[in-house]
Every structure is written in structure tokens, then in C-alpha cells.
């Protein structure tokens, strides 16, 4: 389970308040979609949740472990696919995977088994000796997905994971999300693609200007907005526009 | 609206030479103290560099003038300047041309624009010309100034000197692209940033060695005017013969010495000849140049079947700290710009040392024989230690370690790694090379000076203590003030102020310690014990305090 309580963050350099009193609870066994326009605070929230940024206020709990008091244990409880796969272009794929597995203390047998199955699932098994710099963006994204699951985490956090993936890989990723949720693990991902959120999320949160506008299932959103036949996209746009107008008033 | 070509030239010139720009503050806002300090530091560094290189050429030209004057051949000083400038500009221009042949993203973007190949190459040639001109101007200025002070020539001399500075880089520029474009077009493996960097590095190193040999060799014989006249700048000397056989140098020389309209004519002829050569190369090779940029830096994905044996061989557990250290080493050594400006320095410096020792062997031997007390006293041990310390602290590994990792920091911070371990891995990486530098420097100079083994070992230990201190000091500095936003790796290392602060700070500290040692009436053992204890103690204290600082500081970084 992931619990975010009253999180706030203002960037020191720019003075921008990116997240404002955000609270969330994501349960084990669910796929949770985190939606919002550009600059809404999705990535800042994910960065705080994963220990990359320190919140000014609030509390983060991952699998019952408090991020503030025991960050190493909390970080061991999730796997992250970040928003930037352009990281270690000078490393070979297998060197990167070994590095990640070493950091998570994955034993030899398990790491070999997981590398084999995940790499073949995403069709990158024959390029593991190649330099990451020679990969396309999609291949780099697939490698990050494989690396994030090497320690079989209870929570899987993905920031815009579909960017750069071909249709087959996107399909495989969605299947994997479903499988993990079905096995009682938690999946949290941010996306701009409403169709993906609509198809696979058990619950969603819509965020704008650092505040949560809605948390719940898509039928609940439709019921709230009273627009039963509308697509998630139009509901999302309506909700965000309303919040922008309210902010202007 | 600006025409495409001048706009393209401006774009490339700004891409290469413009300093990183910060967002402008509110109108009338005062620049921060940090920014002022940085600007002052850069200006001082520039002056120091110009003064350093300038003093070498001033001394050489002055000595040459004095040697040539009695024979009435002092005009050859200007021929020598034009020839030397042409040769040096050719080498430096070659390095710039090859390292900027394809400026990655910028050039790839240009290929999608409706620009002719000759425009792309022409703009690139102008971009390279600017740095060549600055260097040629500097070299011609030194010789011309000495000649002007000594001979008080007519005003036309100054016009000739300016035309010379303008014209001298043109023919080498044409020659450079005449070589480089067919080379890269013909050899597919060269069409990668890494290959061009390696070639540039190798040529740069060869040039630095030859130049060092030339200066060291000349410096040791400069007082012998007969030798200078016969071998260095006399009418039969290589430089003079080359100059007379190379039309641009001959025309440049005549433009300064012929005087009046004739001088102006020679100067203009030199300029026209150079421009014609550069334009010809541009028009002839522009198309080929543009084609060679297609697919530049394209990497082939290596495919290996993931058999059971391959997986078993490739995936093995290791200690997380060991894994962090090996990540540091791989990321640094596989990025040419990092390797050439980092670890490679301690491989290159001993070569310079060996050249200096060999070329000035006689003089060094005489000096050592005269200074009998030097070897038996602490001086020789401290000199060896100082060189080892200089070498061990010259790699810029620790003082740029956090900056180099800036793009990966958000990801690393999400992994269950203690920030202290991340920093400690960076320290161990730097320390490994500091150890190597201290060994090569301390023991190498110890051997040249003929130190007894105990003194050499003491020199090595002193060098290591000093280098270890600079490693942890550099790491503190870069952790406290990393360069987090950069577009290319050069900015993280070469343009990182922490690197200059650390290297220059280490040199200043070594100088101060040298002066202190000369002043202190202590023996070898006392000096060794004091310096070793001081630097070891400082290193241990800084290492002990680093974890707490790292945990706090890495947590605060927002990028």
C-alpha cells in the first residue's frame, strides 16, 4: 500500500508551489492512474513518493514503511520506471541490469531467471551485450521496465511509461500491469493517454495545479459529472477547465 | 530578416563559443557575488594562460632577434613568426575541425533545413577560422611587437602585420578540410563522435609532445646565439626554408617587410590567395561534407543470443559499493571528453616529464651535480612528492563527480542507496587514479633524481596523502555546488568551475608548501612527518564528516 498524507512541495529556486496538500491512498492489487495536464504536479508527486525530492510538508508511506524515517527500506519496496530513459548510455544493457540488481541485493539465481523472462517478454534478450547508447528510445524504455522489476517489488511506479513504446510493447506492458495487480501487487502510473487509463485503471486521480481534483473509479467520475456517455478525455478536460476557472475567480 | 548563411554562421559560432547563458534577472538587478567571482576568475585564468604562453614566445622571439640582428637578418623573425603561426594554426585548427565536424544534435537539426552543403561547410569553416585567427593574431602580435619596438618600422608595417594575422589561418584552414572531409567520407568508422574525439585527442597529444620537445629543446639552447642562428632561424634553418617555400608565409613576410604600396599588395595577395583556397575547398567538398553528416554517430546494436550460458556468465552478484565504483569508472572512461580530460592526464604528464628530462638531461645533470646538498637534504624528496601530488590531484575525477552524474541523480536517488555510499564510490574512483598518479609521479621523479628507495617511498606517501586530500576536498566542493544543468558532457567537466578551483588550488597549495619548506629549518623526517600527518589527518576528518553532509546535501538537490 502507498499512503501520501498532505504532501506539499515548493521548488526552492523558482519558488513554484508544485504540489499543495496532496493526500492519496493506493491499495495493493490495484492499478492506479495518475492523470493531469502538463505542469500539474504529477512528476513532482512521483519524485517525492520515490524519495527523489523532499516534501516540505506531509508524510509518505510505502508498504507500511515511512519514507522520511527509513528511506532505504521504503525504496526497496518499489520499482521505478522514470520519465527519462536516457540515463546510462555508455553502459551495456547487462551492466546496467547487474548494477540495479546489485543495489537491490538480488541473488544470482533470481536475477538470471528474471532477466531471462522479462528480457524475452520485451524482446530485448539478444541485445543485452550492446551499449545502451545504441538503443532506440523504445528499447531504452523496455530496458528500464525490465530493470524496475528485477527485485519483484510490491509496488511498481511508472512515470509516463507508454512514451516511445511500439504497440506490441505497450500491449505487453499493460498485460504485465494487469498480471502484477492480479497477484496482489500495486501499480501506479502517470499518463497523458486517457484511453490507456480508461482501459486498465481500477481507480484514477486527476491532479491540476498541485491539487487533487478527483479520486475514484471512472464510473464514479461519470456519475459525479453527470455525463454518463462521455469519454474520459472529455470528463478530464471539463474537470481541469472548471478548476482553472475556479482558480482565476 | 537575416539571410540564411550569416544566420547559420551566427548559430554555429554561438553554439561553439558562447558561454552558458542564465536567465536574465529583473531589469537593473545586480549580478550575484558568485557570478562576479566566476567572471573575474575566468578573466584571470585567461590572462594567466595568455601570459604563460606569451612569455614563451616573447623569450623565443627576443632571443632570436638578438641572434639575428648582428647578421642583419632580423627580418627573418617575421618570416619565422608567419611560418610558426601557419604550422601551429594548422595543428590547432585540425583539432577544432575534427572535434566540431559534427556537433551532434545541432548538426543533425541543420540537415533537415533547406541549406546547401557548401553553406554548411562554409559556416563551419568560418567558425573554426575564428579561433585560428585569434591564435595567429597572438603569435604574429608577439613577433611584430618585438620587431616594432626594436626597429620602429613605418606605419605600413602594422597594416601588413594585421593582414598577415588575417591571412595566415586561411590556407591551413583550406588544407585541414581538404584532409578531414575526404578522410571522414572515406572511412565509415570515423563517422562517430567518439572516433573524432579519439583522433583529436591522439593528434592533440602528439602535437603537445612535439611542441613540448621543441620548446624544451630550444629553451635549453636559447642562450647559444650561434646555435640559434644556425639551427633555428638562420636563412638555411628549416623554419626559414619552409617559410620561403610556402607562398602564404612568404607573402605574409613580404607584406610586413616590403613597406608602402608593395607591402599592402603582398598582404592583399596573401589574403586573396587564402580566401580563394578556402572557397575552392568549400565549393568542392560542401556536398560530400553534408552527405557525411547523414547517419553520423549512428550506433549498431550488437546482437548476441541470450543462451543459458550467456546469462550465467553475464549476471553475477557483487557488492553494491563495488558495483557503484565500477559504474563510476565505466561512465568516466567510456566518455572520451571525460577520459581525455580526466584519467588520461596522469598518463600524459609523465610523458612530458620524460621529454623534459631527456631534452634537458645535460643541464639537469649539471644542476644536480652542483646542488649536492639538494639530494641529501629534504629538497629532492619534496620535489618528487610535489610532482606526484600534482599528478595525483590533476584528474578532476572527484571535483566533477556529482556534476557528471547530474542527469542520473533523480534515478539514483530513487534506488535504495545510501547517499554516503554514492559519494564514497566517487571518492574511491578518484583515489584509485590518485594512487596511480602518486606512484608514477613520486617514484618516477625519485628515479630521475636518483633518490634512495626510502626517500622515494616517502615522496610517494606524501604525494598520496596530498592527492587523497584533494580528492575528498573536490568531492565536498562538487557535492556542495554541483553543475546540475548541462547540455553536453564538456560542461560537466571542462567548463565546471569546481575543476579549475581544485586544480589551481592544489597548484597554489603546492607552491605555498614549497615556499614554507624552504623557510622551515627542518630535516627530511620532520618535514615528512608534519606534511604526512597534516594531509592524512585532514583527509580522514573530511571523510568522516562527509557521510552526514552527503545525506543532507543529496536530499536537498532538486533536479
Distances (CA, A) of B260 to B148, B158, B421: 16, 11, 72
* Within a domain: B242: yes
Same domain? B116 vs B236: yes
Please state, for a pLDDT cut of 70, what percent of chain A lies above it. Answer: 97
* Within a domain: B1: no
Please state, for a pLDDT cut of 90, what percent of chain B lies above it. Answer: 35
Which residues of A are less than 8 Å from B326 in CB distance? 99
Which residues of B are less than 8 Å from A84 in CB distance? 407, 410-411
Residue B336: other Cβ atoms inside 10 A = 19
In a mutagenesis test of the A interface, which of B324, B415, B482 is the best target, namely the one with the most A β-carbons within 10 Å?
Answer: B415
Helix (H) or strand (E) holding B282: helix B260-293
Say if residues A205 and A46 touch (Cβ distance below 8 Å).
Answer: no
Candidate from A95, A104, A130 with C-beta closest to B302: A130
Q: What is the ipTM of this complex?
A: 0.93
Burial of B120 (0-12, 13-18, 19+ CB in 10 A): buried
Which is more confidently placed, B18 or B124? B124
Which is more confidently placed, B189 or B26? B189
The x, y and z cell numbers of residue A133, run together, are 547508447
Of B242, B277, B293, the domain-final residue: B293
CA gap B483, B498 in Å, rounded: 9
Question: What CATH topology corresponds to A1-77+154-168+179-249?
Answer: Rossmann fold (3.40.50)
| Maximum average pLDDT range among A234-243, B40-49, B125-134 | B125-134
Same domain? B349 vs B457: yes
pLDDT given at position B76? 78
Beta strands A203-208 and A186-191: pairing type?
Answer: unpaired
The x, y and z cell numbers of residue B449, run together, are 633524481
Which is more confidently placed, B499 or B240? B499
Q: Is the pLDDT of residue B288 over 70?
A: yes
Q: Is the pLDDT of residue B324 over 90?
A: yes
Which residues of B are less than 8 Å from A123 in CB distance? none
Give me the sign of the Cα torsion angle A164, A167, A168, A170: positive
Same domain? B488 vs B543: yes
DSSP string, B137-174: HHHHHHHHHHHHHHH---HHHHHHHHHHHHHTTHHHHH
What would the pLDDT profile of B499-529 be if each residue is shown by its tens digit? 989 998 999 999 999 999 988 888 889 999 9
Q: Is the pLDDT of residue B233 over 70?
A: no
pLDDT given at position A249? 66
Closest to B462 measured CA to CA, from B380, B396, B397, B399 = B380
| Maximum average pLDDT range among B147-151, B298-302, B330-334 | B330-334
Q: Is the pLDDT of residue B403 over 80?
A: yes
Same domain? B393 vs B289: no
Taking residues B81-94, report their average pLDDT: 86
Mean pLDDT over the full length of chain B: 84
Closest to A123 measured CA to CA, from A179, A168, A156, A88 = A168
Chain centre distance of CA B544: 34
* Within a domain: B261: yes
* Positions of E strands within chain A: 2-10, 17-26, 31-35, 57-62, 65-66, 78-81, 155-159, 186-191, 203-208, 211-216
Q: How many CA atoms lie within 13 A of A83 on its CB side?
A: 16
pLDDT given at position B239? 60
CA gap B496, B507 in Å, rounded: 17
Q: Is the pLDDT of residue B228 over 70?
A: no
* Within a domain: B180: yes
What are the backbone dihedrals phi and psi of residue B176, each rounded to the nearest 5 degrees, phi first?
A: -60, -50
* Within a domain: B217: yes
Q: Is the pLDDT of residue B237 over 70?
A: no
CA gap B508, B502 in Å, rounded: 10
CA gap A166, A122 in Å, rounded: 11
* Nearest residue of chain A to residue B409 (CA atoms): A52
Residue B351's pLDDT band (boundaries 50, 70, 90)? confident
- Contact flag A103-B408 (C-beta cutoff 8 Å): no
Residue B183's pLDDT band (boundaries 50, 70, 90)? confident
* Within a domain: B18: no
CA gap A162, B111 in Å, rounded: 29
- Contact flag A88-B558 (C-beta cutoff 8 Å): no
Closest to A46 measured CA to CA, from A169, A155, A176 = A155
Q: Any idea which of A13-27, B118-132, B145-159, B406-420 has the lowest mean pLDDT?
A: B145-159
pLDDT given at position A80? 96
Of B244, B272, B293, the domain-final residue: B293
* Nearest residue of chain B to residue A73 (CA atoms): B416
User: In the beta sheet, which residues pair with residue A9?
Assistant: A19
In a mutagenesis test of the B interface, which of A50, A89, A95, A128 is the best target, namely the one with the most B β-carbons within 10 Å?
Answer: A128
Taking residues B365-389, report their average pLDDT: 80
| Residues 78-97 of chain A whose Cβ lies under 8 A from any Cβ of chain B | 80, 82, 84, 86-88, 90-91, 94-95, 97
Q: Hey, is the C-beta of A116 within 8 angstroms of any chain B C-beta?
A: yes
Which is more confidently placed, B408 or B43? B408
Candidate from B302, B315, B558 with C-beta closest to A112: B315
Compute the nearest-CA separation of B390 from chain A (Å): 29
Residue B201: other Cβ atoms inside 10 A = 20
Same domain? B372 vs B289: no
| Maximum average pLDDT range among A121-125, B147-151, B445-449 | A121-125
Same domain? B494 vs B387: yes
Same domain? B351 vs B228: no
pLDDT given at position B67? 77
Same domain? B223 vs B354: no
Which residues of B are less than 8 Å from A103 in CB distance? 320, 323-324, 415-417
Taking residues B76-86, report their average pLDDT: 83
Residue B373's pLDDT band (boundaries 50, 70, 90)? low
Candidate from A82, A103, A134 with C-beta closest to B320: A103
CA gap B418, B547 in Å, rounded: 9
What would the pLDDT profile of B202-221 be if each residue is shown by its tens digit? 777 777 777 767 666 666 66
Q: Is the pLDDT of residue B232 over 60?
A: no
Tally the domains of chain B: 2
In a 3-state reduction of DSSP, which class is residue B356?
A: helix
**CA angle centred on B401, ends B45 and B345, rounded to 5°:** 55
Inter-chain Cβ pairs, chain A and chain B, closer than 8 A = 125
Same domain? B342 vs B464: yes
Same domain? B277 vs B398: no
User: Which residue is it, cell 508524510?
Assistant: A59
Distances (CA, A) of B311 to A97, B234, B529: 12, 69, 52
At what angle are helices B155-167 and B117-151 packed, to 10 degrees?
150
Residue B478: other Cβ atoms inside 10 A = 27
| Maximum average pLDDT range among B20-34, B41-55, B344-358, B531-545 | B531-545
User: In the beta sheet, which residues pair with residue B357?
Assistant: none
CA gap B325, B337 in Å, rounded: 19
Taking residues B170-189, report their average pLDDT: 88
- Contact flag B301-A135 (C-beta cutoff 8 Å): yes
Where in chain A is CATH 3.40.50.300?
1-77+154-168+179-249
CA gap A102, A108 in Å, rounded: 9
Q: Which domain holds residue B215?
A: 49-293
pLDDT given at position B308? 86
Distances (CA, A) of B114 to B10, B11, B167, B196, B488: 17, 15, 31, 26, 26
Chain centre distance of CA B464: 25
Listed as ranges, residues in chain A with pLDDT below 50 are none
Task: Put residue B10 in one of left, alpha, beta given phi > 0 → left and psi -120 to 50 → alpha.
Answer: alpha
Say if residues B154 and B40 touch (Cβ distance below 8 Å).
Answer: no
The torsion defined by the Cα of A245, A235, A175 and A49, in degrees rounded to 10, comes to 20
Which residues of B are less than 8 Å from A86 in CB distance? 407
DSSP B23: P
Amino acid at each position: 500500500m502507498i499512503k501520501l498524507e498532505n504532501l506539499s512541495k515548493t521548488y526552492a529556486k523558482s519558488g513554484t508551489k508544485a504540489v499543495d496538500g496532496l493526500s492519496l491512498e493506493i491499495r495493493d492489487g490495484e492499478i492506479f492512474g495518475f492523470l493531469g495536464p502538463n505542469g500539474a504536479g504529477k512528476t513532482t508527486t512521483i519524485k517525492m513518493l520515490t524519495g527523489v525530492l523532499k516534501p516540505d510538508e506531509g508524510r509518505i508511506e510505502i508498504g507500511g514503511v515511512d519514507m522520511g524515517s527509513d528511506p532505504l527500506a521504503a525504496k526497496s519496496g518499489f520499482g521505478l520506471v522514470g520519465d527519462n530513459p536516457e540515463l546510462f548510455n555508455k553502459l551495456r544493457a547487462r551492466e546496467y541490469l547487474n548494477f540495479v540488481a546489485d543495489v537491490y541485493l538480488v541473488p544470482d539465481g533470481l536475477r538470471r531467471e528474471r532477466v531471462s523472462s522479462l528480457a524475452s517478454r520485451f524482446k530485448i534478450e539478444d541485445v543485452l551485450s550492446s551499449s545502451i547508447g545504441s538503443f532506440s528510445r523504445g528499447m531504452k524504455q523496455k530496458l528500464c521496465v525490465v530493470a524496475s522489476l528485477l527485485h519483484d517489488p510490491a509496488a511498481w511506479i511508472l512515470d509516463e511509461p507508454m512514451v516511445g513504446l511500439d504497440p506490441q510493447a505497450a500491449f505487453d506492458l499493460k498485460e504485465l500491469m494487469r498480471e502484477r495487480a492480479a497477484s496482489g501487487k500495486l501499480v501506479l502510473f502517470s499518463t497523458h493517454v486517457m484511453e490507456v487509463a480508461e482501459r486498465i485503471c481500477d481507480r484514477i486521480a486527476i491532479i491540476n495545479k498541485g491539487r487533487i481534483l478527483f479520486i475514484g473509479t471512472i464510473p464514479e467520475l461519470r456519475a459525479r459529472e453527470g455525463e454518463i456517455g462521455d469519454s474520459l478525455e472529455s470528463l478530464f478536460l471539463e474537470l481541469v477547465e472548471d478548476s482553472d476557472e475556479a482558480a482565476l475567480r | 530578416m537575416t539571410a540564411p548563411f550569416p544566420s547559420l554562421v551566427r548559430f554555429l559560432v554561438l553554439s561553439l563559443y558562447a558561454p552558458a547563458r542564465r536567465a536574465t534577472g529583473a531589469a537593473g538587478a545586480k549580478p550575484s557575488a558568485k557570478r562576479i567571482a566566476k567572471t573575474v576568475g575566468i578573466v584571470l585564468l585567461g590572462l594567466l594562460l595568455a601570459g604563460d604562453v606569451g612569455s614563451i614566445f616573447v623569450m623565443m622571439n627576443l632571443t632570436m632577434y638578438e641572434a639575428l640582428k648582428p647578421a642583419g637578418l632580423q627580418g627573418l623573425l617575421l618570416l619565422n613568426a608567419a611560418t610558426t603561426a601557419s604550422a601551429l594554426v594548422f595543428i590547432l585548427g585540425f583539432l577544432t575541425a575534427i572535434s566540431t565536424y559534427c556537433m551532434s544534435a545541432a548538426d543533425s537539426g541543420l540537415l533537415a533545413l533547406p541549406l546547401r552543403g557548401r553553406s554548411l561547410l562554409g559556416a563551419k569553416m568560418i567558425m573554426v577560422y575564428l579561433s585560428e585567427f585569434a591564435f595567429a593574431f597572438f603569435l604574429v602580435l608577439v613577433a611584430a611587437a618585438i620587431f616594432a619596438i626594436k626597429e620602429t618600422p613605418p606605419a605600413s608595417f602594422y597594416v601588413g602585420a594585421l593582414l598577415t594575422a588575417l591571412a595566415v589561418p586561411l590556407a591551413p584552414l583550406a588544407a585541414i578540410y581538404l584532409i578531414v572531409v575526404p578522410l571522414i567520407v572515406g572511412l565509415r568508422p570515423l563517422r562517430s563522435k567518439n572516433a573524432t574525439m579519439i583522433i583529436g585527442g591522439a593528434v592533440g597529444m602528439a602535437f603537445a609532445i612535439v611542441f613540448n620537445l621543441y620548446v624544451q629543446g630550444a629553451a635549453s639552447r636559447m642562450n647559444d646565439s650561434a646555435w640559434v642562428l644556425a639551427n633555428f632561424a638562420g636563412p638555411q634553418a628549416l623554419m626559414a626554408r619552409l617559410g620561403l617555400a610556402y607562398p602564404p608565409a612568404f607573402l605574409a613576410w613580404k607584406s610586413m617587410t616590403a613597406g608602402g604600396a608593395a607591402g599592402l599588395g603582398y598582404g592583399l595577395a596573401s589574403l586573396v590567395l587564402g580566401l580563394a583556397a578556402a572557397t575552392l575547398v568549400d565549393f568542392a567538398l560542401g556536398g560530400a561534407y553534408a552527405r557525411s553528416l547523414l547517419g553520423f554517430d549512428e550506433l549498431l546494436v550488437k546482437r548476441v543470443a541470450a543462451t543459458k550460458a550467456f546469462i550465467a556468465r553475464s549476471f553475477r552478484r557483487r557488492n553494491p559499493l563495488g558495483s557503484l565504483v565500477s559504474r563510476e569508472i565505466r561512465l568516466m572512461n567510456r566518455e572520451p571528453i571525460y577520459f581525455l580530460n580526466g584519467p588520461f592526464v596522469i598518463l600524459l604528464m609523465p610523458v612530458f616529464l620524460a621529454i623534459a628530462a631527456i631534452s634537458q638531461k645535460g643541464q639537469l645533470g649539471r644542476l644536480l651535480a652542483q646542488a649536492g646538498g639538494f639530494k641529501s637534504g629534504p629538497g629532492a624528496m619534496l620535489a618528487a612528492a610535489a610532482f606526484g601530488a600534482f599528478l595525483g590531484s590533476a584528474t578532476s575525477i572527484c571535483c566533477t563527480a556529482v556534476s557528471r552524474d547530474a542527469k542520473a541523480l533523480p534515478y539514483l536517488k530513487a534506488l535504495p542507496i545510501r547517499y554516503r555510499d554514492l559519494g564514497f564510490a566517487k571518492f574511491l574512483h578518484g583515489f584509485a587514479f590518485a594512487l596511480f598518479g602518486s606512484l608514477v609521479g613520486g617514484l618516477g621523479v625519485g628515479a630521475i633524481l636518483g633518490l634512495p628507495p626510502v626517500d622515494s617511498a616517502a615522496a610517494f606517501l606524501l604525494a598520496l596523502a596530498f592527492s587523497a586530500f584533494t580528492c575528498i576536498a573536490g568531492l565536498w566542493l562538487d557535492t556542495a555546488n554541483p553543475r546540475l544543468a548541462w547540455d553536453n558532457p564538456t560542461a560537466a567537466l571542462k567548463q565546471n568551475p569546481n575543476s579549475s578551483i581544485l586544480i589551481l588550488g592544489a597548484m597554489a597549495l603546492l607552491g605555498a608548501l614549497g615556499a614554507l619548506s624552504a623557510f622551515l629549518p627542518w630535516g627530511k623526517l620532520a618535514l615528512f612527518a608534519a606534511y604526512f600527518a597534516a594531509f592524512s589527518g585532514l583527509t580522514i576528518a573530511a571523510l568522516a564528516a562527509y557521510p552526514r553532509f552527503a545525506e543532507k546535501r543529496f536530499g536537498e538537490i532538486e533536479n
